[in-house]
Amino acid sequence: MKKIILGFVSVSLAALMAQAGSFTTTQYVKVVKSKAKYENVIRRTPYEECWDERVPVQRNRYRRNHHRDGFGTLIGGVAGGIIGNQVGRGRGRTIATIGGALIGSLVGNNLSQRDYNDNSYSYTTYETRRRCTTHYNERREKKFVGYKNVGFFKGHKIVRFSQKKLNYIPITITVSY
């Protein structure tokens, strides 16, 4: 009977050893030290600096011209028609008169426009304009980051950062067999 029980225990123990397993547990480590941590930050505050500045402005002015109303085109057409009428004979005279009138109109129009453009001029005036530029004030500050909580578990240092002081640090232990 002892042999049967011993055999059963041996087989059961072998079966347990053959099955690998694991389990996890949570333990709490007492915090021995909590220290507030800060970070240096630079705050940049923008401000605007403005001033008035006199700047040159180029302006163009055109004078009214009496020939701008088509008078040059009319005079050129009449003069060209008269000259064309003197050149040809018969039917050629009619074509020369019409051609002379057209060419004279183009020349008269061109001359009146040139006369108009010659009467333009530019000048410089000054205006006051507002100019602005952005600058920054820099200020160094310390910003709270959180707490560094320290505890010890079986000779190992355990550190956990948090937003508030902790009394205990939870740790998870996994045992595999």
pLDDT digits (tens, 9 = 90+) for 108-158: 777 777 645 555 677 888 999 999 999 999 999 999 999 999 999 999 999
Question: Alpha-carbon torsion 7, 13, 16, 20, what sign?
Answer: negative
Q: How many CA atoms lie within 13 A of 44 on its CB side?
A: 4
Percent of the chain with pLDDT over 70: 79
- Judge contact between 114 and 74, C-beta under 8 A: no
- Judge contact between 77 and 101, C-beta under 8 A: yes
Per-residue pLDDT for 50 more than 80? Answer: yes
d(CA 95, CA 73): 19
Identify the bridge partners of residue 162 per DSSP, sorted by sequence position: 147
pTM greater than the 0.75 cutoff: no
Per-residue pLDDT for 70 more than 90? Answer: no
Average pLDDT over residues 4-25: 61
- Where does 19-141 have alpha helices with state H? 71-87, 91-118
User: Each residue of 76-108: pLDDT tens digit?
Assistant: 777 777 777 777 677 777 777 777 778 877 887
Residue-level pLDDT at 14: 52
Residue 103 φ then ψ, to 5°: -65, -40
